[in-house]
Amino acid sequence: MTRAPDSELRVGLIGYGLAGSAFHAPLMAVTPGLRLTAVVTSDAERRRRVEREHPGATVVESAERLWDRAADLDLVVVASPNRTHVPLALAALEAGLDVVVDKPLARTAAEGRRVVEEARRRGRTLTVFHNRRWDGDFQTVRRLLREGALGRPMRFESRFERWRPAPKPGWRERGSLEEAGGILYDLGSHLVDQALVLFGPVRQVYAELDRRRPGVEVDDDAFLALTHASGVRSHLWMNALAAQHGPRLRVLGTEAAYTKFGLDAQEEPLRRGERPDRADWGVEPRERWGVLGAGDDLRPVPTERGAYQGFYAGVVETLRNGAPPPVDPSDAVAGLEVIEAARRSAADGTAVAIEPDAPAPAV
């Protein structure tokens, strides 16, 4: 459904924890054409934060109260705990609203397909917040591949590593698998999505999942080896107990390689409460650039500008002008197929095949 070019899209945000307060709300605040109209939270301190940071938004205590206001909304953003993504997305669609769901879309590919099919049946827009597609380093790899600067790509290495010896309280690190917590769902959703965007469908998955820290009920150390249909192999690491970090990205090609250390610089300022409307937002200093070349013939490569706000600019284009959504929800389902295959592989100790165009079995 498209809307008049000058119409303002009214947004309801479900959840004002880290995802809602540090990512979704600030990005929407700087996106022309979006207005944060309502926020769902039952927490008194979060209510006060919403009133302070987004004084034009009304705070309601439950999603049910939000559905009562559906006629005053155009879009709902689901930024609540992972276990609630599917029921809330389905309820928003039933209320006649377009939907953004934070990653992961669902716990299983089957659940994800159900949401995608329901959105299609109702003629609503559904997209998934894979904001790491707008990381500067990822965009740099995409550019180098388009330019053929590496020759034919052969191997992709990608890491999200942290040094967090003491687990944080809450469902992400201490909850059950039913919560869709753990590092594979949390960071792995991003790494798998990036690998799929760069190198296409995966046909085989080998994985190792471990729990390293006392008190953790879900994986906090993961490794995935993906074999793409294109022939590229992706090796992905996620770790919460990495006392020293490896390269964030390394791409090996037949003519050159690209190596980059350090995480994209957008997350930390967002966590500090900054908004991406500074003139230098997403610009990485020269000393953090990656290097391209072979052997001793290396040169620094400017990192593309990071721009998480590009996701919501894409949402506006979709809802106003009928452009494709910034993230095709079918891509999120493909990522969940890889995650499910990884869990089976880790349990069995063997590689698991993903058949083309065939649904992965539920776990």
Same domain, residue pair 148 and 69? no
Cα–Cα distance for residue pair 277/24, rounded to 1 Å: 14
Per-residue model confidence (pLDDT) at position 357: 63
Q: Are 114 and 210 in contact (CB under 8 A)?
A: no
> How does pLDDT run across 219-274, given as a tens digit for each residue?
999 999 999 999 999 999 999 999 999 999 999 999 999 999 999 999 999 999 99
Contact 77, 95 (CB under 8 A): no
Of 26, 150, 16, nearest in space to 78 by CA = 16
Let me know whether 85 and 52 are in one domain.
Answer: yes
280: tokens are 């230098």
| Domain shared by 95 and 152, yes or no | no
Q: Are residues 165 and 210 in the same domain?
A: yes
- CA angle at residue 177 from 65 to 235, to 5 degrees? 115
Q: Would you say 221 and 241 are in contact if contact means Cβ atoms under 8 Å apart?
A: yes
Please check the confidence at residue 173 and state whether its pLDDT lies above 80: no
pLDDT at residue 170 tops 80 = no
Q: Among 1, 63, 56, which Cα is nearest to 29's?
A: 56
Same domain flag for 262 and 234: yes
Q: What is the CATH number of the domain that holds 194?
A: 3.30.360.10
Residue located via tokens 């059950």? 176
Tell me: do 26 and 51 sit in the same domain. yes
Share of the chain above pLDDT 90, in %: 90
| Dist CA 273 CA 232 (whole Å) | 39
Residue 328 lies in a domain: no
> pLDDT tens, 72-129?
999 999 999 999 999 999 999 999 999 999 999 999 999 999 999 999 999 999 999 9
Instruction: Give the strand pairing for 153-161 and 202-210.
Output: unpaired
Q: 97-114 burial, b if ≥16 CB within 10 A, otherwise e? A: bbbbbbbbbbbbbbbbbb
Residue 289: which domain range? 132-308+338-353
Between CA 151 and CA 252 the distance in angstroms is: 9
